[in-house]
Structure 1
Amino acid sequence: MTTETMQADDYFYEFFDAVSNSTDISYVQKGDVLLCEKTEVNQFGARVLPTFYCINFILSLIGNGLVLCIIYKYEKLSTVTNIFLLNLVISDLLFAFSLPFWAVYHHSEWIFGSALCKLVGSLYSIGFNSSVLFLTLMTFDRYLAVVHAITATRSRKTMYAFASSAVIWFISILASVKDMVLFDVQPGNQSMMLCEMTGYHHNIMKKWQLIGHYQQFLLFFTVPLAMVLYCYIRISIRIMSTRMREKCRAVKLIFIIVLIFCVCWTPYNVVILLQAIEMSNGDQKQCSDTLDYALYMSRNFAYLYCCISPVFYTFLGKKFQTHFLKLLAKRIPCLNITIVTPTQSSKTTSFRTPNTVTEH
Structure 2
Amino acid sequence: MGEHSLENILKFLEEANKTAQVNVVDEEISLCKKSNVIQFGAAFLPAFYYTNFLLSLVGNGLVLYIIYKYEKLTTITNIFLLNLVISDLIFAFSLPFWAVYHKSEWIFGSGLCKLVGSCYSIGFNSSILFLTLLTFDRYLAVVHAISAVQSRKKKYAFASSAIVWVLSILASIKDIVFYDVMKGQNGRLCEMTGYIQSTLTKWELIGYYQQFLFFFLVPLVIVLYCYSRITIRVMSTRMVEKCRAVKLIFVIVFTFFICWTPYNVVILLKAIKISFGDPNKCSEALDYALYITRDFAYLYCCISPVFYTFLGKKFQRHFLKLLAKRLPCLKINTLLSEPSSKSASVRSPTMITDHSCG
Q: TM over 0.5, yes or no?
A: yes
- What SS class does the counterpart of residue 196 from structure 1 fall into? strand
- Match of 2:333? 338
- Match of 2:354? none
Deviation at 1:29, TM superposition (A): 5.3
CA spacing shift, 1:181–1:245, aligned 2, 3 Å: same
Q: Determine what percentage of the aligned residue pairs are the same residue.
A: 70
Question: In structure 2, how many angstroms separate the alpha carbons of the residues matched to 1:337 and 1:6?
Answer: 58
CA spacing shift, 1:300–1:29, aligned 2, 3 Å: farther
CA spacing shift, 1:7–1:73, aligned 2, 3 Å: closer
- Match of 1:266? 261
1:96 partner amino acid? A
- What SS class does the counterpart of residue 184 from structure 1 fall into? strand
- Match of 1:201? 196
CA spacing shift, 1:231–1:182, aligned 2, 3 Å: same
- What SS class does the counterpart of residue 152 from structure 1 fall into? coil
- Match of 1:16? none
Q: TM-score normalised to the size of structure 1? A: 0.88
Q: Is the 8 A contact 2:50 2:95 kept in 1?
A: yes
Question: In structure 2, how many angstroms separate the alpha carbons of the residues matched to 1:115 and 1:336?
Answer: 50
Structure 1 segment 217-296 matched on structure 2, within 5 A: 217-284=212-279, 286-296=281-291
Question: In structure 2, how many angstroms separate the alpha carbons of the residues matched to 1:23 and 1:254?
Answer: 70
Question: In structure 2, how many angstroms separate the alpha carbons of the residues matched to 1:201 and 1:183?
Answer: 14
Deviation at 1:286, TM superposition (A): 4.7
* Structure 2: gaps (5+ residues): 12-19, 347-358
- Match of 1:129? 125
Question: In structure 2, how many angstroms separate the alpha carbons of the residues matched to 1:341 and 1:174?
Answer: 46
Q: Is the 8 A contact 2:94 2:116 kept in 1?
A: yes
- Match of 1:47? 43
Bigger fraction of residues in helix: 1
Question: In structure 2, how many angstroms separate the alpha carbons of the residues matched to 1:50 and 1:7?
Answer: 24
Q: Is the 8 A contact 1:109 1:193 kept in 2?
A: yes
Deviation at 1:33, TM superposition (A): 2.4
Deviation at 1:154, TM superposition (A): 1.1
2:174 partner amino acid? K
- Match of 1:210? 205
Q: Is the 8 A contact 2:10 2:193 kept in 1?
A: no
- Match of 1:313? 308
Question: In structure 2, how many angstroms separate the alpha carbons of the residues matched to 1:257 and 1:162?
Answer: 24
Deviation at 1:339, TM superposition (A): 2.2
2:240 partner amino acid? R
Structure 1 segment 1-360 matched on structure 2, within 5 A: 1-4=4-7, 30-190=26-186, 192-284=187-279, 286-341=281-336, 343=338
Question: In structure 2, how many angstroms separate the alpha carbons of the residues matched to 1:23 and 1:262?
Answer: 60
CA spacing shift, 1:329–1:161, aligned 2, 3 Å: same
Question: In structure 2, how many angstroms separate the alpha carbons of the residues matched to 1:128 and 1:243?
Answer: 39
* Structure 1: gaps (5+ residues): 9-21, 352-360
2:250 partner amino acid? F
Q: Is the 8 A contact 2:52 2:299 kept in 1?
A: yes
Question: In structure 2, how many angstroms separate the alpha carbons of the residues matched to 1:54 and 1:24?
Answer: 51
Q: Which moved more, 1:328-337 or 1:290-299?
A: 328-337
Aligned residues: 335
Q: TM-score normalised to the size of structure 2? A: 0.89
CA spacing shift, 1:29–1:174, aligned 2, 3 Å: farther
2:6 partner amino acid? T
- What SS class does the counterpart of residue 33 from structure 1 fall into? coil
